Chains A and B, each alone.
Chain A
Amino acid sequence: MVQIHNAFTLFLSLLVEAMPFLLIGVLLSSSLLFFMDEGLLITKLPKNPFLGSVVGSCIGFLFPVCECGNVPVARRLLLKGVSPSIAISFLLAAPTINPVVIWSTWIAFGEQPSIVWLRVLFSLIIAIFIGFVFSQQKDPQPLLQPTLVKRVTRWQSNYNLNLVDSKQKKEEISPLLQSGTFLLNQGQILSMDTSLAEAKPDYLPLQSKLSKFYRFSDNVVQELRELGGMLILGSAIAAIIQVFVPREFVISLGQDAITSILAMMLLSAIVSICSTVDSFFVLSFAATFTSSSLLAFLIFGPMIDIKGIGLMLTVFKPRIIIYIFALAAQLAFILTFTYGYLF
């Protein structure tokens, strides 16, 4: 009974902590949908896979979201036709490479500035590397969930059409030409194979600001419902794991330089703590763990945690998540372990 009680407390605390960030992410994602011209976005992003990953990892500076808010934004970027490698770099780096997190890490570790800048540096290296690896896959289809793929491919064909005949006005490309679409009231058109969240108003005739706002809030609600569900599920799983694999047990795994890194990485995945506050959480372990293991926690935690996996499943296929997870874990270990060797 006590365990259920604990699990529920943990579940609620994870949810309360993550929900505002998810909301910020969803708001950002929705504003991207309505206020950003994707054509402009695509042409501005570098074509070179390496540079693309670098830019992707730094987008976090524009969208200060933590690891719950980055998924909706990454999803939106993918829907806007951004290449998966850029989106993956963003997904991995954004929770760390943003002003709020860097500032909070500085507050917690101001006396050990190396922790702060190494957190940024190592996160960047990992995000850029994994983004680069994924850029080798030219066809995004095997990476993404089928529903997402349909939206992306249809958008791309439309975008290409736009490029072929630039004089042709947007509203002339009727989505009605596509199969499986239907008309909503107010003349809004929606294809049947996508959720409301992925509606693309750009194809529609220019509408009044008010209706634009309505559709913006519709989109927010829809996305929040969809991703919020996944967050609740993820938080529940994370809470249950924490009850059955208590923190004390994980901490006790840290017996030496190597195992303390592994223990801290495991802890970071399990506790699912938001990147904006995780430096304060990990500060309490500064007395009993090595700097490299604290660093491992700070790097790996924001990239992968259990409550976030649910959110990522709405975007990527499971085996892709396993690849990202494995690569991030290995790189985090290699970098922090090497740091421990040298310092």
Chain B
Amino acid sequence: MKRLLEPIDKIAIAVILAFSIAIGLLVWGGEACGTDCIFHTGPQVSNFSWQNKLVGGQDRAFILTFNRPMDRDSVEKNLVINPSLPGKFSWSGRRVAYTLTTPVPYGKTYQVELEGAKEKFAAGNDEGEEMQPFVGEFRSRDRAFAYIGSQGEEKGRLILYNWSKETKTLLTPDNLVVFEFKPYPQSDKILFSAAEKSSGDNALLQLQLYTVTTGLNQNNDPPKTPEIKLVLDNNQYQNNKFDLSQDGKIIAVQRVNRQNPADFGLWIVEENKQPQPLGDSPSGDFLIAPDSKTIAVAQGEGIALLPLQPDAEPLDFLSQFGRVVTFSPNGISAIMVNFNKDNPNLRYTRSLFYVNSLGVEKELVNLEGSILDCKFHPNTTHLYCLLTKLEKNGEYKEKPYLAQIDLQTAQVLPVLALPEYQDSKISIAPDGLGILFDQILTTDSVSEVSLPKNNSGEAIIDSRLWLLVTSSSEIHHVEQLPLVGLYPQWMP
């Protein structure tokens, strides 16, 4: 005889009933529970990408993710950043990205608050439920720069000045004379070339590469003592100029074989790998591109773009340019110099070109003087350059000046004239605050062995550090810093 209900019918019906009751309880519980209990389905921020993060100049956008579709207007109206940071919103689903129009000013703590924004379902015409208030926090890196000391016990030593905390740290020991340095992208280390003080006049021939830890942006109390590590020795090869890739993983060094000066070229040094020569073609000035995969090298009468790999074939050769001055931080554009050798009308003049990856080549300025250095403003809207003006009053004299060049209009605005010619470099703050440069006094008469030297081999006897506070207006404010040293560079 057929049974009316099989065991499965009984069980299934019982379970279905039990689940129905459970669903009823869940729904009722959600309603009855109100907005103040853990079982609340109200809209809220489920992720904030910069929560408790240390933000640098390269970080340009944060993302807020909501657990619900939100009423976009209400979010945009109610988002408050304290201190305020201008930016714009872009939505993708339940996520909103806030892209800053200018880099985050360094050395500050920021609060992101959102209150009163409402959820909005696709079909919901009614006012949605209000979200739970959200407070997020992030911090920007400490504002800091490094320079080479030039007086007393600081002479020839690498010094870190933390502007946010107003502390000064001597990073390198007394026995090393530092010549050149490049900060690592996270500011945690600095790569530098230095020679033993005892090497005296031969110091430039005895350079070795080291790294030193900075302790920057780390809350170590008491601060850790800087750790120095040898990266590249000078046993077989003499080390000259070097550059560090933007990702901090590759160092390019110009080296000469001590036994065979004809063995001269670029080497690449990667972490935990033996140094390798990049190729055997002779090369001049060089600069690693921001993609950390390519290097621009002056070769012959042009610029070769080489991949940063041993024995690699050139990717491109730019015959019309003689020098790459700088790359934009995002790597899309570069500033190059054309020495106008092909054009008889422009002979002995230099042209500064803006070149980008879309194939745009735009002449910004043509001058008779020199182009010493240029740096992009972090917004990449304009450029700051250290240029010289040629004066022909009987004898030729170059007068240096700092200029601001608008990349859109190519308008050149001289902002500061410097009294003495010098082979300075300029450094622009990653948050765009200002430009650091030095003003050095040199001598070729005193044969001081332990003094750092400029590129002409003259010993530097005194130096001042200056800050030019950038502004969009024509008036720029310049101040002398109460620090004595040379080659100042902002930490990224």
In the complex, whether B23 has a CB less than 8 A from a CB of chain A is yes
Contact at A327–B16, with CB atoms within 8 Å?
yes
Q: Assuming A333-B23, A343-B46, is B121 touching A289 (CB within 8 A)? A: yes
- Interface hub of B30, B46, B68, B92 (most chain A Cβ within 10 A): B68
Q: Within A46-65, which residues are at the interface with B (CB < 8 Å)?
A: none
Contact indicator A288/B12 (Cβ below 8 Å): no
Given A138-B7, A287-B69, A287-B92, are A254 and B123 also a contact pair (CB < 8 Å)?
Answer: yes
Tell me the bound Cα distance from A289 to B123 in angstroms: 10
B19, A330: Cβ atoms closer than 8 Å: yes
Prevailing SS type, chain A contact patch: helix
Given contacts A323-B16, A334-B23, is CB(A255)–CB(B40) below 8 Å? no
Cβ–Cβ < 8 Å partners of B15 in chain A: 133, 327
Q: A287-B94, A331-B19 are known contacts. Are A136 and B69 too (CB-CB below 8 A)?
A: no
Per-residue B-contact encoding for A250-294, CB less than 8 Å = 1, 0 else: 011111111010000000000000000000000001111111000
B8 at the interface (CB under 8 A from A): yes
* Chain A residues closer than 8 Å to B230, beta-carbon distance: none
Hey, which chain A residues are within 8 Å of B346, CB to CB? Answer: none
Q: Give chain B residues whose Cβ lies under 8 Å from the Cβ of A252.
A: 122-123
A21 at interface (Cβ–Cβ under 8 A)?
no
| Interchain CB contact (< 8 A) of A286 among B6, B93, B121, B124 | B93
Alpha-carbon separation in the docked complex, A291 to B69 (Å): 9
Q: Does B26 contact A (CB under 8 A)?
A: yes
The yes or no answer to A122 lying at the interface (CB within 8 A) is: no
Do A290 and B19 have beta carbons less than 8 Å apart?
no
Whether B123 contacts A142 by the Cβ 8 Å rule is no
Per a CB cutoff under 8 Å, which of B12, B38, B67, B123 touches A253? B123
B332 at the interface (CB under 8 A from A): no
- Please tell me if the beta carbons of B121 and A342 are within 8 angstroms of each other in the complex: no
**At the interface, yes or no: B39 with Cβ under 8 Å from chain A?**
yes
Report if A320 contacts B (CB, 8 A). Answer: yes
Are B122 and A286 touching (Cβ within 8 A)? no
Q: A136 to chain B: which residues have CB within 8 Å? A: 7-8, 11
Q: Does B22 contact A (CB under 8 A)?
A: yes
* A330→B12 CA distance, assembly (Å): 12
On chain B, the residues within 8 Å of A337 by CB distance are 23, 26-27
- Which positions 64-91 of chain B face chain A at CB distance < 8 Å? 67-69, 91
CA of A291 to CA of B27, assembled, Å: 18
Q: What's the least CB distance linking A40 to chain B, in Å?
A: 28
Q: Are B6 and A341 in contact (CB under 8 A)?
A: no
- Nearest A-chain residue to B37, judged by Cβ: A341
CA distance A338 to B94 in the complex (A): 20
Name the residue among B38, B68, B91, B123 with the largest chain A CB count within 10 angstroms. B123
**A143 near B: Cβ within 8 Å?**
yes
Chain A residue contacts of B7, Cβ below 8 A:
136-138
The residue in chain A whose Cβ has the minimal distance to the Cβ of B38 is: A342
B123 to chain A, nearest CB (A): 4
Q: Complex formed: what's the CA distance from A239 to B185 in Å?
A: 57
Residue of A nearest to B47 (CB): A112
Q: Answer yes or no: B164 CB below 8 A from chain A CBs.
A: no
- Answer yes or no: B218 CB below 8 A from chain A CBs: no
Q: Would you mind naming 5 contact pairs between A and B with Cβ atoms under 8 Å apart?
A: A251-B122, A256-B121, A258-B27, A287-B69, A333-B23
5 closest Cβ contacts across the A-B interface?
A288-B122, A137-B8, A252-B123, A287-B93, A330-B19
